[in-house]
């Protein structure tokens, strides 16, 4: 089931909200590719896009958190690194034919993203109020 952007995902920062929306779009494209049984190459392309965008967004978000002197920055960065590692692992296993793309993978990525925005990201949004 695709992720829908809702107001409760907003971190009250226009640029970061736009990045979260783009990230959701990439994830939904990946999900749609699974549903439509796209060829492996297309799905690898989508995983690559998701991995690249994840790195881009995390760098952007961490820069913002530094700019507001967010006290939980290092904890937040640890969570980012763990998620990046998991997507990188999925990417490598898929490329090596050691993993079948599935809704289970998609659900993990989707659940992590929504929970992270609603939980961790909301903390820096409240700190910045």
Domains of the chain by start residue, with CATH: 10-127 (1.20.120.50)
What would the pLDDT profile of 15-34 be if each residue is shown by its tens digit? Answer: 999 999 999 998 898 888 88
Return the residue matching tokens 């990525």. Answer: 109
pTM over 0.85: no
Rg (CA), the chain: 15
Per-residue tokens: 124: 């820096």
Residue that has been written with the tokens 């700019």 in this structure: 67
- Neighbouring CB atoms inside 10 A of 103's CB total 12
Report how far residue 110's alpha carbon sits from residue 103's, in angstroms, rounded to the nearest whole number.
10
Q: What is the pLDDT of residues 90-120, one digit of tens each?
A: 888 888 877 666 667 778 888 888 888 998 9
């Amino acid at each position: 089931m695709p992720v829908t952007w809702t107001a409760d995902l907003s971190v009250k920062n226009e640029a970061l909200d736009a990045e979260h929306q783009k990230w959701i779009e990439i994830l939904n494209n990946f999900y749609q590719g699974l549903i439509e049984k796209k060829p492996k190459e297309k799905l690898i392309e989508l995983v690559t896009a998701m991995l690249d965008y994840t790195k881009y967004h995390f760098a952007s978000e961490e820069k913002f958190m530094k700019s507001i002197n967010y006290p939980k920055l290092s904890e937040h960065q640890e969570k980012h690194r763990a998620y990046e590692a998991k997507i990188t692992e999925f990417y490598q296993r898929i490329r090596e034919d050691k993993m079948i793309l599935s809704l289970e993978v998609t659900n993990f990525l989707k659940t992590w993203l929504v929970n992270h925005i609603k939980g961790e990201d909301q903390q820096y949004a409240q700190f910045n109020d």
